[in-house]
Each structure stands twice: as structure tokens, then as C-alpha cells.
Chains A and B, each alone.
Chain A
Amino acid sequence: MKRRRWPLLGMLVFGYAFLYVPIVLLIAYSFNESRLVTVWSGFSTRWYAELLRNQQLLDAAWLSVRIAATNATLAVVLGTLAANALVRHPRFRGRAGFELLLTAPLVMPDVIIGLSLLLLFVAMQQGIGWPAGRGFTTITIAHITFSMAYVAVVVRARLSQLDRSLEEAAMDLGARPLGVYRMITLPLIAPALLSGWLLAFTLSLDDLVIASFVAGPGSTTLPMVIYSSVRMGVSPQINALATLIVLLVALAVIVAGLSMRQRR
């Protein structure tokens, strides 16, 4: 039995190396002094300093963070409602359609979502005059539409594992349904809400394609700045930015993981 695990272990090591070597190299070369990303010429933090002086990039990052936070908060609300619907109402008219609409955004190519939402916003602007321009609001709406599907998946998994006896006990003691949900159910699914929020936040922070379609002329998000700078060639500033993002994400995932474990 032991001997047969070797090929499997080899695959595992290869797979993890494949996933992590590019990220490690990216981080290593962010401390490279040379402008040429692939030639090592000495340790330096100058790209981090230049990054912090790049006003265009900082503005875009601030816009992206605001969009991501708004998106994550609203996506958690909508995604949790959808998860409630699927777990607590096993039978309702149009359930199949509901599930279809909730799964489709998970796999739908970004170009299709982006184009279709832009055309909707243009048609709405012509028809009812809202949204008047494109930018923060339109990007946030677009992001909520696909993020809520991811949140629903995470919350649904947690909600369907939930032990209902606590809720029933509270109900027997005279609590009202909304009170039960607020005082019993929500604290129990809180870890899932947190990871759903973080997931929605990073999905929004990461989106280039959909935002490019629905953004107006004045609203440039962080991925758009990264994309246009990457198109012009490899730049050590992007490596420095990538390192900061990887660090932040690793931190957030570890915190979320720990909080989940404590709750259990």
C-alpha cells in the first residue's frame, strides 16, 4: 500500500509546485533592483516606493476597494436570502428556474456578462434615465450579480448542515421567527457569511473584463490599471503590487480559517 502512493505523491508535489512557483518568483523579483524583471541585480525596495508614489494606481486601488466592499456587503445580503430560499423552502413554484439563475453566473464567461449588462444599462438610461452615467454604481451592480451566486453556494452549504433543534427550542420558548433568525441562525452561519464576504470582496477586486464593459470614462479600477501596464510589458511595480495583494489575501484567508475553526 505504501509503495503505490509514490506516483500519487509525485503528482501532488508537481501540482503544488506548478501552482506556487510562479507566485514565489513574482514575489522574489519584486525586490529586484533592475528594471528588467528577469535579471537579478541586487535587493531593493525601490519598486515599492515607486508604487506608493503612483497616484493613478492609488486612485484606482481606492475606487476598487470601495466597489469591492459595497459589493461584498450587498452580495452577502442577497446571497444569504437566496440560500435561505433554497434551504428553507424546499418546494416553491419556479425553484428550478431560481437555481438555474443562481448557478449560471458561476460559469458564464465574463465577456458575456459584461456585454449584456452594459447593453442593459444603456437601454435603461435611454428608457428611464437611470443610471445617468456609468461608474461606481454600474460596476457595483454588475459585481453583485455574479458575487451573490458565490455567496449563496458558501452560505447554502453551511445552512443545510445546521442543527435545527436550537431554532426549534427558541421557537418553543416563544421567540418570534425573525428573532430566532437573528439570535440563533445568524450567529451560527456567521463564519460562512464572513468567508462569503471575503470571497465576494476578492472576486470584485480581481475583475477586469466585466468592469471594463460597464465602466464609464472616468472610472478606472485597479485591474484596468494593471492590465494596461501589463500590456505595455513586464513592470517591477506590478510585481510589488502583486506581492502586497498576495500578502493581504494570505492574511485574510488565515484569519478567516482560524475564526472558522474557533467557531466549530
Chain B
Amino acid sequence: MALPQPSRPAATQVLSRLVNIGIPYLWLGLFFLLPFVIVLQISLAEPALAQPPYTPLWQWIEDGLLQIQLNLQNFLLVGEDSLYLSAFLNSLQVALISTLLCLLLGYPMAYAIATAPERLRVVLLMLIILPFWTSFLIRVYAWIGILKSNGLLNDFLIWLGLIDSPLTILHTQTAVYIGVVYSYLPFMILPLYANLTRLDHGLLEAAADLGCRPFCGFMRVTLPLSMAGIVAGSMLVFIPVVGEFVIPDLLGGPQSLMVGKLLWTEFFSNKDWPLASALAIVMLALLVIPFVMMQRWQQRMEGGRP
């Protein structure tokens, strides 16, 4: 920050630090960081028919002997049972492919909005944000009526004469992809747009003067410069989709088992809190790399702000 700090009395500076940094830090530490420690702890416990339904990790037994019992069974189960393994693989696959689909659809849209006339831009952007504000659950629900075998899409295709008998789309992997791309598209478009509007068009003109045709200009100037937006948008889609519950639950079928749904079932139906915690820990470990990547690029994006 190049802004000159106005000279303030030292006491208010200290107070300002204490309030502005201290209070949010304390809140996030208590309600965001500490819970993960507890999840890790419970993932090492054994399920029990008790309230709460798991065994304590340590116990004082007589003569001042502390007995610590760590149960790695949950993690072994997650690694060995093909059900869990395939759920993780399927989640990663769904997240990866839908991120690519969002990018394929979102990039041209963000580019078109960023290069639109100023007045139009505000409206176009508002129209991207608006669905994001309406209920996510209800927007996913809307697709049930469209994708059902006697739904609007099948009726429309039969009316057009493209198909004779209704297609099965609801409760398949395809429906999950449609739902995910639909719900997460704004998360891809917004960072891309923010990035593309800051693009210096002088660079493109310079490239054109040097004999670079528009396609070459896009590949060698626009695309590399929008990398920060691409990474930010991709991570905003990829990371939450890995743990998505609502979309695979409402639109997906038995084939499209995802970790988020599995965790939900272990917790709510099987009441196996330790196993659900182990699933959460494995998911967290998988998401650390994409998350660090996002942080890096975000800082680069902020650093490059004119």
C-alpha cells in the first residue's frame, strides 16, 4: 500500500488493530479452525451406541494411567472399500469435467460481456449475478421438471420430431453435469470478467502491429493475461463441487455417487459420526492442493492490479 498513513495517536492504532484483526480472527479460529481439529479427533474414534455416538479418545484409568485409543479403522475402510474409493474418484471426475464445461461456456460469455459497450455491460453483469441470488435449491429443483422422462425437455424434443421415445436424463450422471454447470456458471464468469475488463487493449494493438492476427493475439496476449481469472474461476467451481450434496442427491442416480452425498448418508442415516469425519478429513486433504493454488493466483491477481 503506497498510501501515506495519517499520523494517528498510537493508542487508537493499537485499539484499531485489536478490534479489526482480533475479533474476526477469534471468531474464525473458534468456529472455523477449531472444528477441524475436532473432526480429526473424532475420525480416530470408534462409533458407539451412545450420546454422542462415538467413543472417547482418551480415558483416565486407575493409578494415573492415561489410556489413549486411536482407531485407524475408518481411514482403512475409506481406502479399501471400493464404494468409498469410487465415490471419491467420481466426485473428482464430476468436478473436473464440470469445471472444464463451465470454462468452455463461461470464458466466451465473460469475454463478450467485458468487450460489450459500457452501458450494456452493467445490465449483462447484473443478469449473471441475479440467478446466483435466487435459491440454489429451487434452481436445482427446476431441472427436475425439465429433465424428467415425461418432462418439458422430452416433450419438446418429441414435438420437434427429434426423438420418438423419451430419453432418460434425470437420475443419471448427465443430469448431475447439467445441474452443476447451471449452478456454478456465475462463479466462473465473475472472476473471468473482473480479469478481462482490466486487460490492456494497447497490448493487443501492439501485437496486431507486429503482425499477430486476431487469433494469435488471443492465444499469445489475452489468454496468458487472463490466466489468473481462469485459475480463480476454476477453483471456485472445482473445490465446492467435489463436496456437493444437493445436486447429486436430487438430480443424480445410483451411478453418480459422490462423497458429499456419502458423508451425508453416513452421518444422517447410518449415524456413523467417526466414518463421516474420516470422509471429511480425506476430502479436506484432497482439496488442499487446489486451495493453495487458488490462494497463490489470487495474490498474483491482486498484485497485478493497476
Contacts and interface: CB of A to CB of B under 8 A. Distances in A.
A58 interface: no
Nearest to A152: B24
Given A111-B260, A112-B280, A88 B16 contact: yes
Among B17, B23, B28, B108: residue with most chain A CB under 10 A:
B28
A245 B138 contact: yes
Interface stretch (B74-82, B148-156, B157-165, B223-231): B148-156
Contacts of B28: 101-102, 105, 145
B304 interface: no
Contact of B12 (A152, A164, A178): A178
A26 interface: yes
A206 B137 contact: yes
Given A116-B39, A120-B38, A15 B105 contact: yes
Contacts of B133: 198-199, 202, 249, 252-253
A241 B112 CA distance: 34
A246 interface: yes
A52 to B, nearest CB: 18
Interface of B: 1, 3, 6, 8-9, 12, 16-17, 19-21, 23-25, 27-29, 31-36, 38-39, 42, 52, 105-106, 108-109, 111-113, 124, 126-131, 133-139, 141-146, 148, 150-152, 155, 182, 185-186, 214, 235-236, 239-240, 242-246, 250, 260, 263-264, 267-268, 273, 276-277, 280, 283-284, 287, 291, 294-295, 298
Contact of B3 (A164, A178, A208, A213): A164
Given A145-B31, A253-B129, A81 B284 contact: no
A152 to B, nearest CB: 8
A19 B31 contact: no
Nearest to A96: B295
Interface stretch (A3-11, A43-51, A186-194): A3-11
B135 A206 contact: yes
B245 A110 contact: yes
Given A85-B20, A234-B145, A22 B182 contact: yes
Interface in A72-87: 78-79, 81-82, 84-85
A25 B151 CA distance: 11
A65 interface: no
B42 A250 contact: no
B39 A78 contact: no
A253 B126 contact: yes
A116 B38 contact: yes
Contact of A112 (B52, B139, B186, B284): B284
A67 interface: no
Given A29-B145, A102-B28, A38 B151 contact: yes
B283 A109 contact: yes
A59 interface: no
